[in-house]
Amino acid sequence: MNNSLGDEETVEALARLVREWGRERVRPFVQEREAAGEFPRDLYAEMGELGFFGCVFDESLGGTDVGFAALAAVAEQLAWVYPPLSAAMNLQAATVPLTIANWGDPDVIARWVPDLVAGRALGCNAMTEPAGGSDFLGSMRTRAVRDGSDWVLNGSKMWITNANVADVAVVYARTDPAAGHRGVTAFVVPTHTSGFEATRVPCRGLGKLMPTNSVSLVDVRVPAGNVLGEEGQGFVVAMNALDYGRLSVAARSVGLAQACLDAALEYADQREAFGEKIGSFQMVKKQLADMTCEVAAARGLVRAAAAKYDTGDLATRESSIAKYFAGEVCNRAAQATADIFGGAAFSDDLPIGLYLNYAKLWQTGEGSANIQALLIADDALGWRRMDRHRTVLRPRTTVG
């Protein structure tokens, strides 16, 4: 690990860089980009070039190796800049490339991870299916059948972010129908492979810069070397991916909650009613105070989870707690901000509606709030430990 791993000055400097970049390159042009409806691939390339995606990757993979605290800081600031853009922190910096780096063969790692980290290639994570939700692995219908030295995949996926623009996908498919969770395998699938087709699903409330898609897999053929981990190990690979994804989503929820708080504070200090600034009203003060305290508490949980990852340990429990609490805080902050803005919250010139929608979305992504609550309670009771899969996880792989 780099000597700057977890260093507070390094993390804060990177956070400032992200916020300044966002103020200059994103916020002034976001309405124009939304109106155009074109995926901002140029911004992904810029983020990769600036090192936003490489925090937890070795330099041999094009990373900066400054750690999970830095990753969380970047994710938080990108969500503050503009929520749709922060999806990159899962797909380019955590869930997709880190899963490939942890579980892939050296050739697959070398082929995809440096390009994903640099923003030269785009990734997507194809877990969820039309008939599945939180039990996406147990109810999985996508099949993979061995054919000589290849696997042939057939099935469909749903709600797959960036699939229509991605160059590579991590796809989960059932390889042994009789083996339950142990019958799922993870594959690296280039999206140009014959039979892979992504179709955009319109979601007006999420804007146009973070496309979600359905994915059809018809006789998609991939070599056996593209298996992540081993055959039947897809459940553990997925749980490992979700661990890192939850940290990213938690940090993004904190960034969005901070954006809500900042907007609410500015509006409460300017808007007047009954001859006074509305920030002087006790009910508004209470909302602002609650938001301030809760955002700080959620940020503390995210940083604690990131710090544990930076020791080289897993933080399954910590990232789940951070994700659950930050999601709740973000939703309350978005709703309180909408209350403070009143009718102005409905204006297309303001991002309040977008904030509300993304706050709710991130309560669901990487494990719904209800599922997180069950997992946290079972772990607290000692009935089902969240870290029970740690013994089969592989260390991060480097190339070179």
> How is the chain split into domains, by residue range?
8-122, 124-232, 236-392
pLDDT at 388: 72
Lookup result for tokens 């000055």: 9
Looking at every residue in the chain, the average pLDDT score rounds to 92
Residue 244: φ, ψ to 5°: -70, -35
**Range 124-232 classified under CATH 3.40.50.300:** no
**Average of pLDDT values for 275-288?**
97
Checking if the pLDDT of 367 tops 90, the result is no
* Assigned architecture for domain 8-122: Orthogonal Bundle (1.10)
- 396 vs 222: which has the higher pLDDT: 222
pLDDT at 391: 38
- Kindly indicate the confidence band of residue 17, based on its pLDDT and cuts at 50, 70 and 90: very high
pLDDT at 46: 97
Which of the residue ranges 140-144, 311-315, 332-336 would you say has the lowest mean pLDDT?
311-315
Residue 38 a catalytic site member: no
Q: Are strands 168-174 and 184-190 parallel, antiparallel or unpaired?
A: antiparallel
Contacts made by residues 267-271, CB under 8 angstroms, sequence distance 24+: 267/340, 267/341, 267/344, 268/340
Task: Write the pLDDT tens digit of every residue in 157-176.
Answer: 999 999 999 999 999 999 99
pLDDT at 72: 97
Q: What is the DSSP-derived secondary structure letter of residue 334?
A: H
Checking if the pLDDT of 4 tops 80, the result is no
Residue 45: φ, ψ to 5°: -65, -40
User: Residue 305: what residue type?
Assistant: A
Q: What is the DSSP-derived secondary structure letter of residue 131?
A: T
Q: What is the DSSP-derived secondary structure letter of residue 395?
A: P
Q: Over pLDDT 70: what percentage of the chain?
A: 94
Is residue 217 helix, strand or coil?
Answer: strand
Structure tokens at 111: 């082929």
Task: Write the pLDDT tens digit of every residue in 228-271.
Answer: 999 999 999 998 898 899 999 999 999 999 999 999 999 999 99
- Kindly indicate the confidence band of residue 7, based on its pLDDT and cuts at 50, 70 and 90: confident
**Range 236-392 classified under CATH 1.20.120.530:** no
pLDDT at 228: 97
Single pTM value for the model: 0.93
Cβ-contact 356, 335 below 8 angstroms? yes
Task: Write the pLDDT tens digit of every residue in 187-202.
Answer: 999 999 999 999 999 9
Q: Which residues contact 178 (CB under 8 A, 6 or more apart)?
A: none
pLDDT at 396: 44
- 159 vs 2: which has the higher pLDDT: 159
Checking if the pLDDT of 340 tops 50, the result is yes
Task: Write the pLDDT tens digit of every residue in 64-82.
Answer: 999 999 999 999 999 999 9
Per the residue annotation, which of 76, 129, 294, 366 is the catalytic one?
366
- Kindly indicate the confidence band of residue 136, based on its pLDDT and cuts at 50, 70 and 90: low
pLDDT at 389: 63
- Kindly indicate the confidence band of residue 395, based on its pLDDT and cuts at 50, 70 and 90: very low
Residue 196: φ, ψ to 5°: -90, 120
- 398 vs 24: which has the higher pLDDT: 24
